[in-house]
Structure 1
């Protein structure tokens, strides 16, 4: 067994069974050894190393396991960085293996020689380079254990000559270390004192607002039980979209710029605030500091009282802590507060339906998501990209219990939606996966990932992987940010992007392509896509000037909208669509 053979063997002993990567001479030893390790390590060959890191991040999000990726020296290692930062900022465990030039060449400005330890220092919690074979065991063990325990990125650098040396365990000698396998046990339940202090705050309140994030994804039942006991409403940060189903009457949906009016009302009118497993960044959407005593629960103590000054801060696993807290909470009675929340949620879904049915030129993007919601298979996994598509994903899609959903949260990187979808499909080949993409993201990374999809799809027990592309020929989110945040009209030189036949490109790859530009054909297009015998690209030719209205329009927003009018090249369309959206927000529909 050489060092490369041992690396794959040891990783499989940790329970890692899939690696995303791309070959190169800097990892030649790992490439060869991987071929011989096919019985215990599945290799997914990507088209670009950035996609490997995104897929490892998504694997960690969807499975709860450590994600694994590898890349060659120099440019390959550099390419990993964006996807690794996605994992770092969303606090999921990923191990990266990277090659390096031979030890004798290091320091000589050799071809593809990059100071990888310095390069990866910011993105990782642990980065180390192997110099001798008997060092490799503890490097792999520490990388996996630290990634898992800290929910962080780690990196092991393997010079190409070390990869080919015979492996040996460290000697029983001074200066050697002997590591072992095994993940940390579950988080401990907080102390009784802290739990009682939290219960005291929550029991005093009459208008309780709850915010959940990715840390509550495995605490669905516990969050519901606490919300029912406190008769509160629950808003969801973007990474926590699948934490609670949207068919619960007290779930107000997403929060923030991509959020809902009921979530805004919940936060601004509450008198008590409970935050569970979330690092939601935008403080302006939370209660005003001092207005609502707060309790926060998070597995990471460094994120407590980071966005809002909490009265009680608890380090603990979300499910275990809420389960221990529940018996200490008083059962609140039905109240006007809870009835107002539920009424607001009902009205909001009606508003979204009216918005989705508004006409546009040629197609309203909201219609795609509204028609998809009732058609989602029970076990669907949904991914979304950054951009205006994330607005419709956050607001219009109704998540049901048992579904999974995610996107690039803290980094909000363009181009993550399709590698996320492929990783979800590799982990769950029997489930339907749907990627919600804008055309900017498709041109950046999505077309690349379609090639990888075409390579692997025949191996899946259920071939359904649908890539929805909103083709609006515009980098739409930034265009609207220019209009509303800067008070400037669309800058066509930077915002307009080429038209491209995404559905026909899919057909060139042996996939199915569907094109829709008629609102009356949207439902049928989804039915066709969901019935297909292979992956599908559903291209929707949508109107770029349908505004992603924020849940609360400020005076500054209104002034900027007026200021942009003289410089807006598509003014007529912008004004018409904005008027329709605003009108459907204030005029109730017919029952």
Structure 2
């Protein structure tokens, strides 16, 4: 007799093989058989019952941002599916592997304009890099496996639509498998000697060079700082890249544009060379001088030359290329430009410290951030919502390089803070987690404070209230 397994259970075992430990969602009639499967697998896969599918979707994306591993959320057919859009677009725009499971009516009711039936494949075509409706029970675990591989390979959202009846069908227990054990991420080499030398010649000829780094240098803070000192290049980070370089680094200017710091904007206005490393910074067209020389080091060929005319374009692993630049360069002479930026950073920090220690007048946000800095542990996780709080967190949080930080970057959806805090506390239960949000964003997702309580998650929620959508009002 052939041993069998329910297709829904096989699908969840596929998730488990990829290291998924928890999934977010809300039950619905069209997801019932997957819920029964979750109950069968409850010892291996934790179900987090959120109060809104959008929160689950954004939490799944935050799982990916904080851990590097795929996050998973689900919704039932119709409105449950449409509530997942926020997460799908956040995953797309911030390039985060995320899987969304979507319920569908039973096959016998499909294409009959049945209750809550939507044509869910085309709905997600823009947001997702892979979207499929399962058509046979035996293919369900295979499609889950394929979706995960596509999400990792393309760094984005994958959607699997599951007709409810298929999840309950029995399939051969040995008829499915997972490719998790063979998963590999391609690693580019460093730039060539010729490319690195060309970049170094441009830097050597510049009077006011800056290095603008993004998430492509994650884990390479020491390399960035060593090169900055050696070549006398102050460092600017993207807002989402803030935690990569320690706040204390003497020439860290902060971030640029509006969610920014004063030293970074001042330096960019006069920089005559920008080395753009591991970033797809969306405001480059308005913040970078069109006359500046431009070096770009990037692992994604789609972004080379996208933001600025490029004098030296290097398709390569960014940290490896920076190390090669260190090895192939001589120490630059002590630079008045570098020292002026170091002094500017000191003045900026002193100003912010003065504001954060104020005890007179009306309550302002700066002293609150001062207390957050005081009580935050060395490995705290900061989940930052969108709005004025993003701007203030970029300027005032003294992130030390060991702490984590996440927000909704390019999509910039309000209400992302609490879901990210859920993800942080679930993925790192022993670490301190902050949710920092404005009153407008907090109001969008406040129902899921109940989720924090239900699962005994000791998240520190800080809500900054100005009774306005301050970032828009400004």
TM over 0.5: yes
Tell me how far apart the structure 1 counterparts of residues 31 and 10 of structure 2 sit (CA, whole Å).
Answer: 14
8 Å contact kept, 1:267–1:285: no
After superposition, what is the alpha-carbon deviation per residue over 1:157-200, rounded to whole angstroms, capped at 9, x for unaligned? Answer: 111111111124898xxxxx997333223412145243343333
8 Å contact kept, 2:188–2:299: no
Q: CA deviation at 1:225?
A: 2.1
> 1:583 maps to which residue?
none
> 1:580 maps to which residue?
none
Tell me how far apart the structure 2 counterparts of residues 476 and 444 of structure 1 sit (CA, whole Å).
Answer: 15
Within 5 A, what are the aligned runs for 1:100-139? Answer: 100-139=104-143
Q: CA deviation at 1:209?
A: 0.4
8 Å contact kept, 2:14–2:178: no
Q: CA deviation at 1:361?
A: 6.5
Tell me how far apart the structure 2 counterparts of residues 204 and 168 of structure 1 sit (CA, whole Å).
Answer: 67
- Relative to structure 1, the CA distance from residue 178 to residue 426 in structure 2 (aligned partners, 3 Å threshold; closer, same or farther) is closer
Tell me how far apart the structure 2 counterparts of residues 382 and 234 of structure 1 sit (CA, whole Å).
Answer: 22
- Extract unaligned runs of 5+ from structure 1: 172-176, 481-591
- Relative to structure 1, the CA distance from residue 28 to residue 316 in structure 2 (aligned partners, 3 Å threshold; closer, same or farther) is farther
> 2:165 maps to which residue?
161
Within 5 A, what are the aligned runs for 1:202-221? Answer: 202-221=203-222
Alignment partner of 2:472: what SS? helix
Tell me how far apart the structure 2 counterparts of residues 260 and 219 of structure 1 sit (CA, whole Å).
Answer: 22
Q: Does 1:8 align with 2:12?
A: yes
Tell me how far apart the structure 2 counterparts of residues 89 and 110 of structure 1 sit (CA, whole Å).
Answer: 33
Alignment partner of 1:47: what SS? coil
8 Å contact kept, 1:387–1:414: yes
> 1:451 maps to which residue?
450
Tell me how far apart the structure 2 counterparts of residues 409 and 262 of structure 1 sit (CA, whole Å).
Answer: 21
Q: CA deviation at 1:303?
A: 1.7
After superposition, what is the alpha-carbon deviation per residue over 1:267-324, rounded to whole angstroms, capped at 9, x for unaligned? Answer: 122222111222221135533112x221122222212222222212223333233233
Alignment partner of 2:211: what SS? strand
Within 5 A, what are the aligned runs for 1:138-217? Answer: 138-168=142-172, 180-181=179-180, 182-192=182-192, 193-217=194-218
8 Å contact kept, 2:355–2:366: yes
Tell me how far apart the structure 2 counterparts of residues 380 and 82 of structure 1 sit (CA, whole Å).
Answer: 26
Q: Does 1:95 align with 2:99?
A: yes
Tell me how far apart the structure 1 counterparts of residues 191 and 389 of structure 2 sit (CA, whole Å).
Answer: 43
- Relative to structure 1, the CA distance from residue 50 to residue 137 in structure 2 (aligned partners, 3 Å threshold; closer, same or farther) is same
Query: Of 468, 471, 485, which aligns to 2:462?
Result: 468
Q: CA deviation at 1:9?
A: 0.6
8 Å contact kept, 2:102–2:160: yes
- Relative to structure 1, the CA distance from residue 71 to residue 346 in structure 2 (aligned partners, 3 Å threshold; closer, same or farther) is same
Q: CA deviation at 1:76?
A: 0.5
Which one has more relative contact order, counting CA pairs under 8 Å at least 6 apart?
A: 2
Within 5 A, what are the aligned runs for 1:43-122? Answer: 43-122=47-126
> 1:550 maps to which residue?
none
Alignment partner of 2:42: what SS? coil
> 2:251 maps to which residue?
250
Tell me how far apart the structure 1 counterparts of residues 24 and 233 of structure 2 sit (CA, whole Å).
Answer: 43
Q: CA deviation at 1:343?
A: 0.4
Q: CA deviation at 1:414?
A: 0.8
Tell me how far apart the structure 1 counterparts of residues 274 and 353 of structure 2 sit (CA, whole Å).
Answer: 30
8 Å contact kept, 1:389–1:438: yes
8 Å contact kept, 1:29–1:163: yes
Alignment partner of 2:128: what SS? coil
Q: CA deviation at 1:360?
A: 7.9
After superposition, what is the alpha-carbon deviation per residue over 1:369-395, rounded to whole angstroms, capped at 9, x for unaligned? Answer: 133223321011111111111121110
Tell me how far apart the structure 2 counterparts of residues 280 and 286 of structure 1 sit (CA, whole Å).
Answer: 10
Q: Which one has the largest radius of gyration?
A: 1
Within 5 A, what are the aligned runs for 1:281-300? Answer: 281-283=282-284, 286-290=287-291, 292-300=292-300
Alignment partner of 1:451: what SS? helix
After superposition, what is the alpha-carbon deviation per residue over 1:494-532, rounded to whole angstroms, capped at 9, x for unaligned? Answer: xxxxxxxxxxxxxxxxxxxxxxxxxxxxxxxxxxxxxxx
> 1:522 maps to which residue?
none
Alignment partner of 1:68: what SS? strand
8 Å contact kept, 1:198–1:295: yes
Tell me how far apart the structure 2 counterparts of residues 285 and 243 of structure 1 sit (CA, whole Å).
Answer: 24
Alignment partner of 1:273: what SS? strand
Q: CA RMSD in A?
A: 2.0
Tell me how far apart the structure 2 counterparts of residues 125 and 194 of structure 1 sit (CA, whole Å).
Answer: 33
8 Å contact kept, 2:217–2:277: yes
Tell me how far apart the structure 2 counterparts of residues 317 and 170 of structure 1 sit (CA, whole Å).
Answer: 40
> 1:234 maps to which residue?
235
Q: CA deviation at 1:142?
A: 1.6
Within 5 A, what are the aligned runs for 1:571-586? Answer: none
What's the TM-score once normalised by structure 2's chain length?
0.94
Q: CA deviation at 1:216?
A: 2.3
Q: CA deviation at 1:408?
A: 0.8
> 2:338 maps to which residue?
338
Within 5 A, what are the aligned runs for 1:407-446? Answer: 407-445=407-445
Q: CA deviation at 1:467?
A: 0.7
- Relative to structure 1, the CA distance from residue 129 to residue 168 in structure 2 (aligned partners, 3 Å threshold; closer, same or farther) is farther
Q: CA deviation at 1:332?
A: 1.2
Alignment partner of 2:455: what SS? helix
- Relative to structure 1, the CA distance from residue 158 to residue 360 in structure 2 (aligned partners, 3 Å threshold; closer, same or farther) is farther
Tell me how far apart the structure 1 counterparts of residues 337 and 205 of structure 2 sit (CA, whole Å).
Answer: 14
Answer with 348-357 or 266-275: which moved more: 348-357
